[in-house]
């Protein structure tokens, strides 16, 4: 089955890539999750739009990735979240909230889908967060979740 990826799938490809997968994997997982669309001649024309959007938010090259890594690793990121007694949060911290906190702390604009968060953050404290900036570059920073 030929499909066009709309999001990055590890081990398969990046958005806009046209890949051949087994029928069951494409039909039962990739298409329903929204990670891909079925390949047609008309859909193939959308590949250029997908790739253009990807290049706009992507790290340009290895040098740029290392520059962003340097910015992130020297950054103190604080996130205020509603919490009850004992520091337990009402809900959990999302990757979109982490990206907004990085931006508010003076850091670069990041893609929330590339964040690697250690499980669900459901209480106040300090948590290590990693982000894959480039296939060869992974940055890490500490996220301080405060009661607010």
CATH of residue 44: 3.40.5.10
Q: 138 and 89 share a domain?
A: yes
Q: 140 and 108 share a domain?
A: yes
Q: 73 and 9 share a domain?
A: no
pLDDT of residue 138: 87
pLDDT of residue 6: 84
In whole angstroms, give the CA distance from residue 59 to residue 68: 9
In whole angstroms, give the CA distance from residue 46 to residue 63: 30
Element spanning 45, H or E: helix 41-57
Q: Which among 141, 131, 142 has a CA at the least distance from the CA of 59?
A: 131
Of 57, 76, 92, at which residue does a domain stop?
Answer: 57
CA 58 to chain centre: 11
Q: 143 and 70 share a domain?
A: yes
* φ and ψ at residue 110, rounded to 5 degrees: -115, 160
Q: 81 and 51 share a domain?
A: no
Q: 75 and 109 share a domain?
A: yes
Of 57, 81, 103, at which residue does a domain stop?
Answer: 57
How many domains does one find in the chain?
A: 2
pLDDT of residue 57: 55
Whether residue 83 contacts residue 147, with contact meaning beta carbons closer than 8 Å, is answered with: yes
pTM assigned to the model: 0.64
- Domain region containing 34: 2-57
Residues of the chain falling short of pLDDT 70: 53-60
pLDDT of residue 7: 83
- The one-character DSSP state at 72 is H
pLDDT of residue 135: 77
Q: 143 and 84 share a domain?
A: yes
Q: 118 and 98 share a domain?
A: yes
pLDDT of residue 132: 86
Write the CATH number for 110: 3.10.430.100
pLDDT of residue 29: 93
Q: 17 and 42 share a domain?
A: yes
């Amino acid at each position: 089955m030929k499909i066009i990826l709309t999001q990055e799938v590890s081990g398969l490809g990046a958005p806009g890539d046209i890949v051949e997968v087994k029928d069951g994997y494409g039909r039962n997982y990739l298409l329903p999750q929204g990670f891909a669309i079925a390949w047609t001649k008309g859909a193939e024309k959308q590949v250029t739009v997908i790739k253009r959007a990807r290049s706009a938010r992507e790290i340009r090259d290895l040098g740029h990735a290392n520059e962003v890594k340097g910015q992130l690793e020297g950054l103190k990121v604080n996130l205020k979240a509603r919490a009850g007694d004992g520091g337990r949060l009402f809900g959990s911290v999302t990757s979109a909230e982490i990206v907004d906190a990085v931006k508010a702390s003076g850091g670069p604009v990041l893609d929330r889908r590339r964040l690697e968060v250690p499980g669900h953050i459901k209480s106040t404290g300090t948590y290590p967060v990693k982000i894959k900036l480039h296939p060869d570059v992974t940055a890490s920073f500490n996220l301080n979740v405060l009661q607010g």
